[in-house]
Amino acid sequence: MRTRTIDISGTPICELGFGAAGIGNLYRPMESAMALDVVADAWRQGVRYFDTAPHYGAGLSERRLGLALQELPREAQLLSTKVGRVLEPLPSNVPVDGEGFVQAAPFARRYDYSYDGVMRSFEDSLQRLGVGRIDILLMHDIGRLTHGDQHELQFRTAMDSGYRAMAELREQGLVKAIGLGVNEWQVCDEAMNHGDFDCFMVANCFTLLENSITDTFTERCRHERVSLIVAAPFNSGVLAKGSVGAGHYFYGDVPAEVIERVKVLEAVCGQYDIPLAAAAIQYPLRYDCVKSVVIGMTKGVRIRQNIDWYALPIPSEFWQALVDKGCIGAFPGA
């Protein structure tokens, strides 16, 4: 597995990362033993970067990930988790369904982007993960998509208050890099005007289907040496399973209009004999400011498959054909 480096902090990161929302029971319950096995499998296959969040299964993903990694060398692992939701215990003490997760831990999520909220979330994550520091700390789901007309208020709190906590943690060496973890790149553009961020995790918005991020923002990141970690390169499934598969698009059913665009991509892939999923994984990595692609995986066989797709040689003519079809923008310097 090749590594790149997060620009400002100098943190090495492997190009293919493991997204741990699935082991927090995203969509369906998973036995803990299987969750631990799939993380061990990822490790055996060379994956060293793992992304989680308090949100994923209301703490379940962090607990399972921490257990799965506890006997593996900490210095070889790269861990990212997130702040912005504080978990409050529920009196019922029974597993809870909701927000896309099934049989999640019995905690309610409360948005809190304040200094105290960030510090509490960080400390809770250390305990669930069983570690003394976090490598990459991301402010989770700020932006209009999540907060609608509350965005301005939440954003101000995040930048004026929560950001100070994150910057302090970085100064103290308790985290190596700080950033946002969001489904909309536009809020990262906004945040760069307020704080000194090392990286942004952009999910579902740097894909073969959604790539307005390359219009101007990738160039800004390159210029200001801010790194991107691209999560959900399959747009939550459809770009792995294809137009006839049972994938998701942004965690819901795939709209007919998206299916049509997937068919166009598949036609170009067919001409060059390139699996669509291989193109989906490799597309963001063609940008220097992108340091890793984080995929949701809950089975060993998927990990093997994704590593093969990641490593498959793809000719430059294929990428040019996607540009010519208007599926993606021209690459920098092309």
Ligand X SMILES: NC(=O)c1ccc[n+]([C@@H]2O[C@H](COP(=O)([O-])OP(=O)(O)OC[C@H]3O[C@@H](n4cnc5c(N)ncnc54)[C@H](OP(=O)(O)O)[C@@H]3O)[C@@H](O)[C@H]2O)c1
Q: How far is the CB of 39 from ligand X (least distance, A)?
A: 12
Please choose, out of 66-74, 110-118, 150-158, 231-239, the segment that lies near ligand X by the rule CB under 6 A: 231-239
Return the structure tokens found at 201: 């995790």
The smaller minimum CB distance to ligand X, of residues 20 and 199, is found at 20
Active site residue 56: yes
To which H or E segment does residue 81 belong? Answer: strand 78-83
CB 93, min distance to ligand X, A: 26
110 DSSP assignment: E
Residue range at the interface with ligand X (CB under 6 A); choices 32-40, 112-120, 225-233, 282-290: 225-233
Is residue 51 near ligand X by the rule CB under 6 A?
yes
Closest-approach residue to ligand X (CB): 296
286 belongs to the binding site for ligand X (CB under 6 A): no
Which span sits near ligand X by CB under 6 A: 90-98, 264-272, 302-310, 325-333?
Answer: 302-310
Which is catalytic among the residues 7, 41, 49, 51? 51
| CB closer to ligand X out of 117 and 247 | 247
Chain center to CA of 186: 16
Residues 6+ apart with CB under 8 A from 48: 1, 14, 76, 77, 78
Q: Which lies closer to ligand X via its Cβ, residue 218 or residue 236?
A: 236
Q: Is 296 in the site for ligand X (CB under 6 A)?
A: yes
Question: If binding is defined by CB under 6 A, does position 242 make contact with ligand X?
Answer: no
Nearest CA to 46 out of 227, 304, 302 is that of 304
Least distance from ligand X to the Cβ atom of residue 294, Å: 4
Residue closer to ligand X by CB (options 270, 332) is 270
Which of the ranges 179-187, 220-228, 264-272, 326-334 carries the binding residues for ligand X, by CB under 6 A?
179-187
Task: Give the amino acid at 328.
Answer: I
Instruction: Indicate the pairing of strand 85-89 with strand 107-111.
Output: antiparallel
Least CB distance to ligand X at residue 301 (A): 8
Q: How far apart are CA 239 and CA 206, in angstroms?
A: 12
Strands 96-98 vs 101-104: parallel, antiparallel or unpaired: antiparallel
Which is the catalytic residue, given 56, 283, 287, 310?
56
What's the CA gap between 110 and 97, in Å, rounded? 16
Q: Which of residues 63-92 bind ligand X (CB under 6 A)?
A: none
- 230 in contact with ligand X (CB under 6 A): no
Whether 189 is catalytic: no
Residues with Cβ < 8 Å from 263, sequence gap 6 or more?
243
The H or E element that residue 282 is part of is: helix 276-285
CA angle at residue 327 from 276 to 258, to 5 degrees?
70
Q: Are the beta carbons of 240 and 207 closer than 8 angstroms?
A: no
16 binds ligand X (CB under 6 A): no
54 binds ligand X (CB under 6 A): no
49 is catalytic: no
Q: Following DSSP, what letter does each residue of 179-244 receive, concatenated?
A: EEEES-THHHHHHTTTS--SEEEEESSSSSS--GGGTTHHHHHHHHT-EEEEE-TTTTTHHHH-TT
Residue 137 binds ligand X, judged by CB under 6 A: no
Q: Does 241 bind ligand X (CB under 6 A)?
A: yes
Residues annotated as catalytic are: 51, 56, 82
- Residues forming contacts to ligand X in the complex (CB under 6 A) are 19-22, 51, 140-141, 181-183, 201, 203, 231-237, 240-241, 294-299, 302, 305-306
